[in-house]
């Protein structure tokens, strides 16, 4: 899915063009189950419903997962851990978060980075389970002093080559 500005959704909700921001829509905000205030239609989504592509950016930002990117395979992020041991530590935390959530990402551990990708396999779409997982991973990376890696997460794992 393409990253969009979310403009389409705000135009749909308001029926007319607006700046794409939601500052003036305070009345439309409603608390969701995680104590955040979101536009009512996003707060009402179940864990099994696909999040409309136009609303994903807003939801990721609301959940503190601003460094996550959106592509046709789901949500992805890459963290500049700097060395393998730091990467292992982050992967360990990601495992704990995923097990606690019963929702698991794909993880690629390299010497200087950890790349993470999540989609809800059961519905083949990005759902709030993925956004919550991304938020947990964002928080774990920040707690570990690990920042996002500026580059685009690579697509797929590199060719493993022959055993040496």
Ligand X SMILES: C[C@H](O)[C@H](O)[C@H]1CNC2=NC(N)=NC(=O)C2=N1
* Beta carbon of residue 146, minimum distance to ligand X (angstroms, whole number): 22
Q: What binding mask, one character per residue, do residues 91-130 give for ligand X by CB under 6 A, x or -? A: -----------xxx-------------x-xxx--------
Asked whether position 50 contacts ligand X by CB under 6 A, the answer is: no
Q: How far is CA 25 from the centre of its chain?
A: 24
Task: Decide whether 34 or 48 has the Cβ nearer to ligand X.
Answer: 48
Asked whether position 155 contacts ligand X by CB under 6 A, the answer is: no
Distance CA 56, CA 76 (A): 12
Asked whether position 69 contacts ligand X by CB under 6 A, the answer is: no
Q: Which residues pair with 127 in a beta bridge?
A: none
The 10 Å CB-count burial string (b at 16+, else e) for 101-121 is eebebebbeeeebbbbbbbbe
Asked whether position 152 contacts ligand X by CB under 6 A, the answer is: no
* Measured CA angle at 59 (ends 63, 22), to 5 deg: 115
* Beta carbon of residue 148, minimum distance to ligand X (angstroms, whole number): 21
- Alpha carbon of 12 to those of 24, 37, 43, 144: distances in Å? 15, 20, 17, 40
* Beta carbon of residue 79, minimum distance to ligand X (angstroms, whole number): 18
Q: Which residue is nearest to ligand X (CB)?
A: 122
Task: Decide whether 86 or 108 has the Cβ nearer to ligand X.
Answer: 108
Q: Residues in the site for ligand X, rule: CB under 6 A?
A: 102-104, 118, 120-122
């Amino acid at each position: 899915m393409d990253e969009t500005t979310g403009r389409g959704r705000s135009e749909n909700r308001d029926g007319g063009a607006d700046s794409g921001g939601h500052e003036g829509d305070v009345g439309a905000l409603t608390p969701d189950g995680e104590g955040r205030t979101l536009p009512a239609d996003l707060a009402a989504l179940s864990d099994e419903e696909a999040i409309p592509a136009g609303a994903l950016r807003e939801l990721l930002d609301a959940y503190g997962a601003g460094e996550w990117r959106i592509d046709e395979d789901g949500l992805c992020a890459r963290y500049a851990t700097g060395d393998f041991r730091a990467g292992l530590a982050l992967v360990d935390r990601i495992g704990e978060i995923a097990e606690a959530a019963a929702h698991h990402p794909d993880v690629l551990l390299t010497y200087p980075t950890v790349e993470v990708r999540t989609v809800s396999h059961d519905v083949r779409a990005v759902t709030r389970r993925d956004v919550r997982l991304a938020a947990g991973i964002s928080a774990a990376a920040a707690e570990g002093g690990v920042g996002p890696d500026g580059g685009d997460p690579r697509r797929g794992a590199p060719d493993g080559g022959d055993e040496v």
